Structure 1
Amino acid sequence: MHRRTALSVSAALLVAAPLLSACSSAEVHPGTAAVVGGERITTAALQAQVKDVRTAQGRDERSAQLIESSAGLERVKLGKMIQLRVLEKAAADAGLSVSVKDVEDVRKAQVAQAKGTAELEQAALQARVPLAPDQIDGEFRFQLLLGKLSDRFGEDKVLVPLAAAAKELHIEVNPRYGAWDVKQIAIGDAETPWVNQRTRPEQAPAGA
């Protein structure tokens, strides 16, 4: 695995912020949360991701606090699902990919850093965009794709291929989830630009 694509549990999982949520003026069919590249993201698929997180939160001793701190989870999760498709399109256009082994290598490193799988899962559940245990590998893949694109184009220019990919995908989102900001490729009120979520091994963990 490329040295710069290693992730920090504290930075990659605990500091992750809501990224993309989309809305165009076009109508979407009932039962559809979004259409990306002609493919539907169903409300059922979205709600399944939310349910997984809520179930995991419900098992935690700080359940009420975790649920309260993750209000608007449907919108956030839809944003991440859309972002992943944008990343995949941009990476494919650039001839880049992330293998299963790449993800496995990151998981091993993160489990070691967190000093156990249970600790890693707890950290993921406390993320600003909380992750259920079965969603962690997807987040690693997300970060690796973004890392490879940033390596190829530069962190200050990676928005160019991402914007091009998003445009080609003709993203339509059910208006109930928010408004699409074409220029920022992000939800309008996002606190942190999503391209800045990428981390490097030399960065100190949050709170260190």
Structure 2
Amino acid sequence: MVRRRTAAVSIAAAALLLASPALTACGSGPDRTGAAAVVGDQRITVASLQSKVNQVRAAQKASPQGAQLLASGGKLSTQTLTMLVQTAVIERAARDAGVTVTEGEAQQDHAAALQQFGGNQKALDAALLQQFGIAPAEADTYFRTNALLGKLISSLGYQPGSDGGQTALVGILTRTADKLGVTINPRYGTWDSKKASIGDTSDAWVITKTPASAAPAA
């Protein structure tokens, strides 16, 4: 069973794909043509979303657990879109708070997670893919997002990992999403502002989760 973790631990979400090329700025208001979702003045294109989904599918097919992963991935498009939308909101909240993450800080999160898997990168990649639908190529942005969330909690005056910090983080992300406005293409579902997800595809804000270290190696 996947276990939650707080933003202080080594690795989030969903993963999340920070600074994703799927997000494109719209000059004079959001253009919904060809959009899977619109977040503020940014849109996540259907084509870019499908590219992300295809990337995950390819990694699943190459996995020893490929048949199982493919059979259980019926909501992959919606799950991936949820993570992209959440990432856009997290990035905006961090920017508003003046929070940034260096490459070195993201690498530290990656190294800490890798240590939990005995230095076995394939085992870590397999766990990210199996439990969160994160393709190996997206691992670096995944860890960068974790580091960003941890620093965002610190900027709010809390220790990463504290209950108060977790609550404060949920609050600021929810308010940021409401301020930006989120519109989802009906083919993928509807945005649930309380859960900060599309339909029932995920829990409330993916405030960093870590794959179980017992995941099998690829």
Normalising by structure 1, what TM-score? 0.77
Partner of 1:125: 129
For 1:175-186, list aligned pairs within 5 A: 175-186=186-197
**Cα deviation digits, residues 154-184 of structure 1 (max 9, x gap):** 2122222112211232222111111112233
Give secondary structure in 1 for the equivalent of 2:200: coil
By relative contact order (CA 8 Å, sep 6+), the higher-ranking structure is 1
Matched to 2:130, the amino acid is Q
For 1:186-201, list aligned pairs within 5 A: 186-190=197-201, 192-197=203-208
1:148 corresponds to 2:132: no
Measure how far apart 1:149 and its partner are.
2.5
Partner of 1:171: 182
2:75 to 72, 75, 82: 72
Gaps of 5+ in 1: 19-26, 200-204
Partner of 1:22: none
Give secondary structure in 1 for the equivalent of 2:44: strand
Q: Between the two proteins, what is the percent identity of the paired residues? A: 38
Contact kept in structure 2, 1:7 and 1:110, CA below 8 Å: yes
**Cα deviation digits, residues 45-64 of structure 1 (max 9, x gap):** 11111111110111112211
Measure how far apart 1:188 and its partner are.
3.8
**Cα deviation digits, residues 76-118 of structure 1 (max 9, x gap):** 0011011111001111111212221111111222223222221
Matched to 2:35, the amino acid is T
Measure how far apart 1:17 and its partner are.
9.0
Measure how far apart 1:193 and its partner are.
2.1
Contact kept in structure 1, 2:50 and 2:77, CA below 8 Å: yes
Alignment: residue pair count: 187
1:161 corresponds to 2:172: yes
Q: Distance in 1 between matches of 2:111 and 2:101?
A: 16
Q: Distance in 2 between matches of 1:75 and 1:36?
A: 15
Give secondary structure in 2 for the equivalent of 1:48: helix
Aligned alpha-carbon RMSD (Å): 2.8
**Cα deviation digits, residues 27-56 of structure 1 (max 9, x gap):** 973421111221221111111111111101
Normalising by structure 2, what TM-score? 0.74
Distance verdict in 2 for CA 1:81–1:195, change over 3 Å:
closer
Gaps of 5+ in 2: 1-6, 17-29, 157-164
Q: Distance in 1 between matches of 2:87 and 2:15?
A: 14
Give secondary structure in 1 for the equivalent of 2:37: strand
Measure how far apart 1:206 and its partner are.
6.9
